[in-house]
A and B are shown apart, each in its own frame.
Chain A
Amino acid sequence: SAVISQKPSRDICQRGTSLTIQCQVDSQVTMMFWYRQQPGQSLTLIATANQGSEATYESGFVIDKFPISRPNLTFSTLTVSNMSPEDSSIYLCSGGDDYGYTFGSGTRLTVV
């Protein structure tokens, strides 16, 4: 199965700024997704990253706040824009195909 490298692993950011998280997959994958996980809770889907086109966002998540890029089948970025303390969370990317999905190691974001 695919191996996903995610960076940064953690960051502390000032409110009002933006952070871009990157995920690199070691092989081409059909699907890539971005999730958010609050401490002690489950994973919530933010969006599906579509290769060469706009991402598909879940209810409650908007492109202006969480712009996503996926220029090819092995790379995607998520930007958390105009951050507030409520954005403090763990962000994970996921990739795979019909044979299964793997996850990046996550980015622990703290907004102060």
Chain B
Amino acid sequence: GENVEQHPSTLSVQEGDSAVIKCTYSDSASNYFPWYKQELGKRPQLIIDIRSNVGEKKDQRIAVTLNKTAKHFSLHITETQPEDSAVYFCAPNQAGTALIFGKGTTLSVSS
């Protein structure tokens, strides 16, 4: 089965700085690579995803990059804001199967 590792487990940045979270996976058959944001007491929300035929995807301040050869993908947040503070999860999977979540990264953005 899929083995997912996520680093770092906690990340503290100043408002306006960039944040990068890396996710390493084991299953070479994985072809869908999403990132979820979970605020305290809320459900996980999909913030960005990428598929295996694309190397990078950007949506305003958020981007995801994928290195299929090395089996890792990363979440990049630029110009961080206090409302970016949350727990972020990667959850790679193969189409038609369940998401397998990393252990999460707690991002704290201080103003």
Contact = CB atoms under 8 A, between A and B. Distances in A.
Interface of A: 1, 30-31, 33, 41-45, 48, 92, 94, 98, 100-106
Interface of B: 32, 34, 42-46, 49, 89, 95-104
Contacts, number: 45
Given A43-B101, A48-B97, 15 more contacts: A31-B97, A31-B98, A33-B99, A41-B104, A42-B101, A43-B44, A43-B99, A45-B98, A45-B99, A94-B99, A100-B34, A100-B46, A101-B34, A103-B44, A105-B42
B10 to A, nearest CB: 12
Most A CB atoms within 10 A — which of B42, B96, B97, B99? B99
A48 B43 contact: no
B100 A106 contact: no
Contacts of A92: 43-44
State the majority secondary structure of interface residues on B. loop
Nearest to B34: A100
